[in-house]
Amino acid sequence: MIIVADTGPVNYLVLSGYISLLHELYGGLIIPSAVHKELLHTRAPAVVRNWADRMPAWAEVRSAPSDSSLADLGPGEREAITLAMNLHADFLLIDESLGRAVAVQNGLTIKGTLGVIEDAADHRLVNLVEAIQRVRDTGIYLSDELVRTVLDRCPSKR
């Protein structure tokens, strides 16, 4: 599988201790250089910077051309969308709502941090309720409605 990620989901999966799920579920991860730079930024949590500095073999950084038609987005989102399109990714891992909308408009399949947790619960790698709470504890905003929708979709994974 070809999975490209924006900064947010990688950040939240590292902070929650679930980053290895990307390898277990999908085999690997590709991040554009702008995302890598954001993960290494001094304002990023130390655990995230450490992960980005010593990425596992199943994660790689690739250069992505800049697309001026995506000017309303940040550099990480622009490169993630462009790279996902160029690589014909199976999906783009992105949480930010404007970036998600632009990705879908450009024909990409998207998944967010919570989607990874849901996939992991489907494969019995995590307890869904506990995993959602761990992810929420990182500071990610997950609306109660979204969480209810996921829990309703997966009643046997609770």
- Pair (13, 77) in one structural domain: yes
What is residue 64's predicted lDDT score, i.e. its pLDDT? 87
CATH of the domain at 99: 3.40.50.1010
- Pair (102, 124) in one structural domain: no
- Pair (137, 104) in one structural domain: no
- Pair (119, 151) in one structural domain: yes
What is residue 107's predicted lDDT score, i.e. its pLDDT? 96
- Pair (84, 58) in one structural domain: yes
* Total domains present in the chain: 2
pTM of the model: 0.93
What is residue 157's predicted lDDT score, i.e. its pLDDT? 56
What is residue 152's predicted lDDT score, i.e. its pLDDT? 87
What is residue 66's predicted lDDT score, i.e. its pLDDT? 72
Q: Which residues of the chain have pLDDT under 70?
A: 155-158
- Pair (84, 14) in one structural domain: yes
- Pair (97, 121) in one structural domain: no
What is residue 156's predicted lDDT score, i.e. its pLDDT? 62
- Pair (24, 72) in one structural domain: yes
- Pair (11, 40) in one structural domain: yes
The answer to whether the CB of 3 falls within 8 A of the CB of 26 is yes
**Cross-sheet strand order for the sheet of 29-32:** 59-62, 29-32, 3-5, 91-93, 110-111
pLDDT in tens, 110-138: 999 999 999 999 999 999 999 999 999 99
The answer to whether the CB of 122 falls within 8 A of the CB of 140 is no
- Pair (82, 57) in one structural domain: yes
- Pair (136, 99) in one structural domain: no
Which structural domain range is residue 132 located in?
115-157
pLDDT in tens, 58-74: 999 999 887 777 878 88
What is residue 87's predicted lDDT score, i.e. its pLDDT? 96
What is residue 44's predicted lDDT score, i.e. its pLDDT? 96
- Pair (33, 52) in one structural domain: yes
Residue 92 has which token pair?
Answer: 């783009």
- Comparing C-alpha atoms, which of 114, 91, 122 is closest to residue 27? 91
What is residue 153's predicted lDDT score, i.e. its pLDDT? 82
